[in-house]
Structure 1
């Protein structure tokens, strides 16, 4: 299976570059909307009454479109052809709706083929725009392992008090993203059994508070007097448990290792 990577960078264009970006957004919007207009003229038999102008012909018709990247216009043309292919696909299980006109108020974007942009010295070079300053993602060289709980998300959603918060947090999606990101960088994700009492167990001595409720935000150990935020306590327990799972026991100074 082929895995495709997508990278997102925040850009900091100059005023002149921002003007050029807006021109590009506007021109690719013209290409898309022109194709939508022609598409909407289909007759009942889905036969085109006329062919849309290619991006090359549109550039000749509107001289101001020559100020932006021709590749960006061609990519938008390709995008619409891809949409039409999916729209008329007989093998597609779920039909997609008719194309919509794009406006200035919607999401503004354009695509360029790989050879039309390059990345170097914290700048990305875009055709007809120039070198735009960007902020690169930070590397994660020091963390070789990630320890998390195997939460019973489906069961937690059944709790009406937690359902909305759990759904909003999207724990399952977080785990999926963490897993494939870790795989890219040869990191390991260790999942701890969902029945491990990470919140109820003292991370210092191992005493367990069976009466701890969700409303108790501070964990206080009645055996050793250790007091800590319940989430911080749980994270320490998850770390210690995971280290034992991978045979790398680490015991906090002055504390006893929790029994398995």
Structure 2
């Protein structure tokens, strides 16, 4: 049997600012990844791999002026958000496969 623990965190004001900055950056990277995958689908292209997404949305985006603020947070949560996005796509397409269910009327 698995145990579950419940923890409550009381961050300081400085930690709240850091956490909100981190969550905002991961949300932006996630949304950019969704938009890039959607664009590839609409253009009839193959979905970009996880490595391509990380290269374009994190590494190269940090070099631009409009996304240089991504450098203020750790790269690990940004990479994890793209890993989660990739896993979400895999789970979705895996659920679309399988046998057709026939219902009798």
Residues 20-42 of structure 1, C-alpha deviations (whole Å, 9 max, x = no match)? 00100100001100011112211
Does the CA contact (< 8 Å) of 1:86 and 1:92 recur in 2? Answer: no
Residues 180-237 of structure 1, C-alpha deviations (whole Å, 9 max, x = no match)? xxxxxxxxxxxxxxxxxxxxxxxxxxxxxxxxxxxxxxxxxxxxxxxxxxxxxxxxxx
User: What RMSD, in angstroms, separates the aligned Cα atoms of the two structures?
Assistant: 2.7
Which residue pairs with 1:180 in the alignment?
Answer: none
Residues 4-57 of structure 1, C-alpha deviations (whole Å, 9 max, x = no match)? 655432111111110000100100001100011112211375x34876424333
Does the CA contact (< 8 Å) of 1:43 and 1:49 recur in 2? Answer: no
Q: Given the two structures, how large is their TM-score scaled by the length of structure 1?
A: 0.30
Which residue pairs with 1:63 in the alignment?
Answer: 68
Which residue pairs with 1:20 in the alignment?
Answer: 18
CA distance in 2, matches of 1:33, 1:24: 14
Higher strand proportion (structure 1 or 2): 1
Q: Given the two structures, how large is their TM-score scaled by the length of structure 2?
A: 0.68
Q: Report how many residues are paired.
A: 90
Distance 1:8 1:48, change over 3 A: farther
Which structure has more relative contact order (CA 8 Å, sep 6+)? It is: 2
Higher helix proportion (structure 1 or 2): 2
Which ranges of structure 1 fall in alignment gaps of 5 or more residues? Answer: 94-260
Which ranges of structure 2 fall in alignment gaps of 5 or more residues? Answer: 100-105
CA distance in 2, matches of 1:49, 1:75: 18
Larger Rg: 1
Distance 1:92 1:86, change over 3 A: farther
> Residue 88 of structure 1: SS of its match in structure 2?
helix
Which residue pairs with 2:7 in the alignment?
Answer: 9
